[in-house]
Amino acid sequence: MPFLLALLAAAARAQDPPAAAADPLALAARELQRIRSELQQLRDAIDAEAAIEPEPDVPAWRLLTGDPSGWNLQGWLAQSFTYNVDQPRDGWNGPVTWLDRDGYQFTELYASLRHDAAMPSSGVAFGARADLLWGSNHRFVSSAGLESHWNDDDEYGLALPNAFVEVATAGTRTKLGHFVSPVGYVTVGTADPNNFFPVLPYTFEYGEPFTHTGFLTTVALGEDLQVGGGAVNGWDSTADWNSSRAGLVDNAWNRHVGAIGLLNWSGAATAGDSLAWFGIWSLEPDLPATGRTSRYLQSLVYTLPLASDVQWVVHTDFGFQHSALPATGPGDRSEDAEWYGLNQFLFLGAGSWRWGAGHEWFRDEDGARVVGAAPSFGAPDGRSFGRGPFRGSFHRLMFGPQWRPHANVMVRPAAMFDWFDGARSGGLLPFDDGTARQQLLFALDLVLRF
C-alpha cells in the first residue's frame, strides 16, 4: 500500500506546473528512495512481531550431490488425493489441473540430472541438464513431436521437460535444446520451490506455454539486471509429428520459429524484491486446429518480501491471437482472441511449517483457451474433462500449509474454491458434470524428495 500511494502521489505532483525548473530524474530518484524507505519500515515492523521457526536440523538426503561444479541427480515422488464435495459422476474436477481427477493420482516421479555451467571470468564453460517426469502430470507438459511419439496411455506417461546443453561466458548464458519456459511464476515440476500449492493456476494451464525448443541467451547487465532473448519453435512444439493420430488436422501445429524475450530486475523498488517480464511471439494453431495464426503473450511477476518470513507475489498475463476462432456464419470473418489474468499469493512462515493463501482470476475473453487440456498436440492419447471452450472469467481462492516433518518429506493439504462467471458451452457449465458454476476441493499431497 505505501508503494502504491507513493506512486500515485508522484504522478499527481508530476501534473502540477513546478515553481522552478526541476530535474525529472532527480525527482524520480527521490520518490524511489522514499518508497524503498517505507517498504523497509514495513518489513521491520512485521519482523518485530513475527517469531521465525528455525529450519529443520536434519539435512536432506540426495541420490547424487557433488560439488557445485559437478553433476547432481535429484528429484521427488509426488502423489495426491483429491476430494470433490460435489462427487461428480464423471470423476473430473472440471478444468482444474494438475489434480484433475476426484480421488487418488500418482502425479509425478521426477528426476533431474544436471551440471550447471559456472560463469567464467574468461573463456567458455559448458553444462547440461535432463529432466524426466513420469505420472499423470505428463499430459499437461508434453511437447508435440517429442512425447507425442511414445505415450499411448490416457492418463500416465513419460515427459522430458528439460533436455539442453548450456554454454556460459563472462556475463552470458545460453541454453540450446528443449527447456521449461521461463514464463510467469509457477513452473513445471509440482515440487519446485515456486509451486506452493499442488494445483496449477488457470493462467499457466490455459494461458501460457510449458516448454520451448530452440535457444535462449541471458545477458547480465549488472548484479541486479538480466535481459534475454532467443528463437524457439513456439509453444510446446519440438519437431514434426502426425497430429491426425488424435483426430486432429495434420500440419496444424507450429513449425515456424518464434521469438522470446525476458527481463529480470532485482531490487526494483526495495532490497530483496524482484520484477520479471517475459514475452513470446509465434505462429500457433487456431482453435479448430485447421491453421496457424500470429500469437503474442506476455507475463509480469513482482515478488516482494514483506518480512524475513512473509512474501507477496503478484502475477499478470496478457495474451492475444489473431484469427484464433472460426467464422460463425457464411461470409463472416474469423475472430481474434484475448485472454488475461491476475494472480496474488501470500506466503508466511519458515522452517518446517509455511502457510499460503492465494486468489486467481483468469478471463478467457473469447472462449479460445479454457477447454479440455488433453488430448493435445503433445499428448494425442491423453484424456481430461471433455467440456468447453468457456467464454468468461474463472476465479479461485485457496489456502493451506506446507509441512516438512523431515528435510526429504513435504505434506501439502489445501482447500480450493473455484467459480465461473461466463457463458455455457454447448449447454454445459465447467463443474459437477457440467451442471455447476462453482466447486469446492480438498487436496492432500505427499512429496518424498531424493
pTM, two decimal places: 0.86
Are the beta carbons of 105 and 112 closer than 8 angstroms?
no
pLDDT score, position 145 = 86
Q: What is the pLDDT of residues 394-430, one digit of tens each?
A: 999 999 999 999 999 999 999 999 999 999 999 999 9
Per the prediction, the chain carries an average pLDDT of 87
Confidence grade of residue 19 (pLDDT, cut at 50, 70, 90):
very low
Q: What is the pLDDT of residues 46-68, one digit of tens each?
A: 555 544 444 445 577 777 776 66
Confidence grade of residue 22 (pLDDT, cut at 50, 70, 90):
low
The Cα–Cα gap between 341 and 297 comes to 12
What is the pairing mode between strands 157-159 and 163-169?
unpaired
Q: What is the pLDDT of residues 340-378, one digit of tens each?
A: 999 999 999 988 999 999 999 999 999 999 999 888 889
What are the start-end ranges of the H helices in 17-121? 24-49
Structure-block grid coordinates of residue 333: 470473418
Are the beta carbons of 66 and 425 closer than 8 angstroms?
no
Confidence grade of residue 303 (pLDDT, cut at 50, 70, 90):
very high
CA-based nearest residue to 308, from 96, 47, 14: 47
Are the beta carbons of 243 and 253 closer than 8 angstroms?
yes
Q: What mean pLDDT is predicted for residues 323-341?
A: 85
Share of the chain above pLDDT 70, in %: 84
Structure-block grid coordinates of residue 102: 476426484
pLDDT score, position 55 = 47
CA 110, 254, 182, 201 torsion: positive or negative? negative
Give the list of residues 6+ apart from residue 110 with CB closer than 8 angstroms, or none: 75, 76, 77, 78, 131, 132, 133, 135, 189, 190, 191
Q: Which of 29-38, 219-228, 373-382 has the highest mean pLDDT?
A: 219-228
Structure-block grid coordinates of residue 7: 506512486
pLDDT score, position 61 = 76
pLDDT score, position 40 = 66
Q: What mean pLDDT is predicted for residues 206-216?
A: 97
pLDDT score, position 53 = 44
CA-based nearest residue to 358, from 307, 313, 404: 313
